[in-house]
Amino acid sequence: QGLRAAWLHESSFRLEVYLLVVLAPLALWLGQSPVERALMIGSMLLVLAMELANSAIEAVIERYGAEFHELAGRAKDMGSAAVFVLMMNVLVCWALVLAPRIF
């Protein structure tokens, strides 16, 4: 139910799934070893997992009211920051795997 709810209500989750669908086959093709493939695909799966957690945080905060509270804003910002950090992890993993072949 959680995956379905995220798909229906979270546009960022849908976008990240679309990216996974496009990039996972590319990772399977470009990765030269099972470890490289696991790093490239696994890093993208971590983004999806954190996006689910971030959406859960936001849903709980919205459940308790729409009025502004500093801690609620901080919690939402931290969840979004965690997603961003994992997106940077995807870039780093892909760069470290692919850069030696390019340069």
Active site residues: 51
- Residue 49, token pair as written in the block: 């997992």
Output the CA–CA distances (angstroms, integers) from residue 60 to 25, 38, 56, 66, 85, in the order listed.
Answer: 35, 32, 6, 11, 22
Helix (H, G, I), strand (E, B) or coil at 66: coil
Query: Do 20 and 67 form a contact (C-beta atoms < 8 A)?
Result: no
Query: Do 41 and 27 form a contact (C-beta atoms < 8 A)?
Result: yes
